[in-house]
Chain A
């Protein structure tokens, strides 16, 4: 069973969103997603100051076997990047909700958060997948 964290919000593309306050959110991929991908060996995430758009690709994540896109769950400007992932992408496998975070985004459309799922909704969503 994959883990979910009650205080986070979730997208259909298996990203989690943590509201940090001041219109900022932290983004990563869920435990379910890392488990589906398997051993992660490469990530390419946006750089600071890049704009991201909800529902659109903001990067790439690669396991030994496959290449997948990372979809941004929100729109806004990237203000912080977890650059440690470049050399240690496997952190996402081990700590998807902590050390494996990807970016902090300053929201341009805070209302988009309402579109995201709660932990409970996400759990039933993954059970259907």
Chain B
């Protein structure tokens, strides 16, 4: 085994490019481990975990590039270094001929009529750039996370003073004037406005609105912390105010994980003054409280989208358990679990979308005992090791402990594919539950990544006299570049049951894993 670590001073590349290069290098013959990273504090920890941190790299600055390789021989390292240079040069050449300003100020000089800045640089720098942008009168979409709550409050207050939108920090998606910012799905333009503090929540709601034949006027992402006590819902209230004033918007949807109570009261009080119908989903929130403020509460993302669509058609919004006839769903579940061995009893939910994961946990908690997770709703549900499932397990693969040094699992499917195979080997696994998120920013062909892993897991189960059930839902539309129909067909051909929404996929998974015993709770109590 040979290790070689190079530091190139003052050579900056963004993390997405470097992750792509690291992955390409790690896949080369003879390479055991590879990290091509900027020497930030986080990346130094990553290098240390890989046993690739030497003094020279430790002393390097965040502006220095570190190429760290562990290989079986020198020849493999030489070949890998050539490939690193080829990939970095390819990136530089792509840029040739275009003008790339070095700072926000020079970019504004080059585009004086710019009206929005997208920011995805590391935390502290992100806050600094956002402040400059707001002071220059520009709206901000901030993808960056790790921005302090104090900075977030300051930025959002500044935005408010200036009459601008501050979407984020930690804002994954928005649709402004039919343009997708960050991760998002192509949906029809329409009359429904959304304000969401939940990225894949916004994606699920907007895609269902689209598939119901409606469309989105504006979808304002505000970042997951907006409804915290400290931030006080500044941007949700501002987003609501703007949608209220927007003539194209006829109905409004608000989506967030459970807000702070004081903030919830404030948002609902503002919503109760609206002249437009409003559907609220505070995931797991109190529906009666929402109703008492004159809004419609929805328990799932699917119900949220369908409720606002029903209201737009002057129809009564009704919660949905399954689209299909309940008898047919029970028969389908029975067909699946009748092939199980006695040991098979657990759901293993492997999620890439944070809000979809959260919704799954909310729905599964009353249906399944022994539910564990790496990002639990209660401390009792905490998994000791995020990489090892216990009982019924639902994993948020996008959590920081699992993504460190890797692209997000909506882009890079390797972590989940490995986990699918891993779960398939375990004799107690009954159902693997998956979300598949399409749209801009996500993987170009998720089915092509998932199918080999699903096939391997199913074959492994079969070899051992078991049957592995795989349930998925796809967040996407016919307009997304991944081709929704093609993705669905490919997954179904591989033996996956594809449900119309995350909520329905979760319920079916519970019905199958409990061998039908969740039926009463599902159909009678309407969970």
User: Do A and B interact with each other, yes or no?
Assistant: no
Which residues of A line the B interface, CB within 8 A? Answer: none
